[in-house]
Structure 1
Amino acid sequence: MRFAGFILAAMLIALPARGESDRVVRVDFSNPGLYPAQWSLVLRPDGSGHFHAEGGTKPKDSEETIEPAKVDRDVTLSGDFTSHVFQTVHDKRILHGKCESHLKVAFQGLKKISYSGPDGEGGCEFNYSTDKEIQDLGETLVGVGSTLIEGARLELLLQHDPLGLDKAMQYIVEASDDGRLQQICAIRDILVRLQDDPHVMERVRKRARMLLARSGS
């Protein structure tokens, strides 16, 4: 009987943890004017997730630069950021499909944010939302996707065009300053490689160190 009671207690303790791990936010983004043209991010409450990007036609004006045609990898985002995402998804009207403003505004990319978990599921799709928190969340998540794509680009440049790293790193610093790129911690691995590589420009290594320091890595 004592053994059975122990098993029951262990199961009750495990239930909340398992329920937490079953909660998922998924973001799907598409914009035919970008390359890659579409991506998806699956995020769990602990900050772990998976990112996949591909599709589209490479712009003619970028033929001389290296761009990742496909990105597919596990990612880790910060705890504070992840908590904000899950809280906003729950607190706002995202779960009830009320996001799109239907206003005639410039196309910013189609963002679909969805949630699933033991407590329910739902989601919505929008180009632009008049709800500031939803609009800000969409822009921030797009910034995360852009960061992950830039990280993949740095890996390609390090392998095939080390001299191109200087301009790429300058862009990443500027874009992280103005918010176009978010969660620089998600590309920590390539930044560590760059700061430790004696064969790349010192300016590139310095910027990598600065970005790592900013991201708390």
Structure 2
Amino acid sequence: MSGFTGAAFAWGALDSAQSSSTIAPNPADKPHVSFHYEHPQLQPAKYTFVIFEDGRGEFHSEPSATPPHDTLSYQTMAHPLDRPVQLSKTAVEEIFSTARAQRFFAVSCEDVKDKVAFQGTKQLSYAGPDGNGSCTYNWSKIAPIQKVTTTFESIAFTLEVGRRLEVEHKHDRLALDAELATLLSAAKDGRALEIQTIQPILEEISNDEAVLERARSRARKLLGDDSTTASLR
């Protein structure tokens, strides 16, 4: 973990947020947005983003108790992941403009009227010298908050696929083609965002002559198609 000041990952914060929608202000902190997700039946079961206004950030995920798929690339997901990220200007502007427009997330963002199936417990938080707040929800009735939620979920998807690609490139190159096909499809329909966060492994694959040409071609397409990199959908 990179140890960003004022932005430590505290899993207990989700529980405390249930009773309070605000966080004690710390004027020394640089503005940052945090997103925390928990679903015990998914893999990973928990993950957190902390993002600053210059796009720097940190991603941390933890596995569930459910055994991963019986392949080497999925078994690696049985371990926590800590990774620095650099988000695009477009993504950062969307995240921070939503935070400020929604009172730094110090709002009631849960949809309590409509019965929505459990989709994971989420928490959005903002902290900075201009304000602070947080809200916890399963599904938000506020469209901009739901959009930011989908964005964070889609970036997490990209990062977890990137982790599997790293393992497959070292130990199971034949699996790369199917994995990259899945990622390419997800990127095209917006389920995978901020592809540049896994640029190094995509470049390694695209330049590796030991990898199937079709897989290398998919990696090059992901690297070169601007529509799959930074847009918020």
Using the size of structure 2 for normalisation, the TM-score is 0.79
Question: Match for residue 101 of structure 1?
Answer: 111
Task: Give the aligned residue type for 2:160.
Answer: I
Work out which of the two has the higher radius of gyration on C-alpha atoms and give 1 or 2. Answer: 1
Q: After TM superposition, give the deviation of residue 152 of structure 1 in Å.
A: 0.8
Name the CA shift for 1:110/1:94 in 2 (closer, same or farther; >3 Å).
farther
Aligned residues of 1:97 and 1:125 also touching (Cα < 8 A)? no
Q: After TM superposition, give the deviation of residue 94 of structure 1 in Å.
A: 5.2
The 2-side partners of 1:133 and 1:99 are apart by 10
Q: Comparing 95-104 with 75-84, which one deviates more in the overlay?
A: 95-104
Name the CA shift for 1:21/1:172 in 2 (closer, same or farther; >3 Å).
farther
Which of 31, 48, 59 does residue 23 from structure 1 map onto? 31
The 1-side partners of 2:104 and 2:28 are apart by 19
User: What SS is found at the alignment partner of 2:191?
Assistant: coil
Question: Match for residue 121 of structure 2?
Answer: 110
Question: Match for residue 57 of structure 2?
Answer: 49
Task: Give the aligned residue type for 1:206.
Answer: S
Name the CA shift for 1:109/1:75 in 2 (closer, same or farther; >3 Å).
same
* Count of paired positions: 198
Q: Comparing 180-189 with 92-101, which one deviates more in the overlay?
A: 92-101
Aligned pairs for 1:1-217 (under 5 A) are 22-59=30-67, 62-64=69-71, 66-67=73-74, 68-69=77-78, 70-93=80-103, 95-102=105-112, 103-215=114-226
Aligned residues of 1:94 and 1:124 also touching (Cα < 8 A)? no
**What is the percentage of aligned positions where both structures have the same residue?**
37
The 2-side partners of 1:58 and 1:200 are apart by 31
The 1-side partners of 2:139 and 2:72 are apart by 31
The 2-side partners of 1:21 and 1:163 are apart by 46
User: What SS is found at the alignment partner of 1:142?
Assistant: helix
Aligned residues of 2:59 and 2:82 also touching (Cα < 8 A)? yes
Aligned residues of 1:158 and 1:165 also touching (Cα < 8 A)? yes
Gaps of 5+ in 1: 1-18
The 2-side partners of 1:20 and 1:205 are apart by 46
Using the size of structure 1 for normalisation, the TM-score is 0.85
Task: Give the aligned residue type for 1:212.
Answer: L
Report Cα offsets for 1:138-196 as digits up to 9, x if no partner.
11111111111111111011112111111100100111112111111111111111111
The 1-side partners of 2:184 and 2:67 are apart by 23
Higher share of residues assigned helix: 1
**Alignment RMSD (CA, Å):** 2.0
Larger relative contact order (Cα-Cα within 8 Å, sequence gap ≥ 6): 2
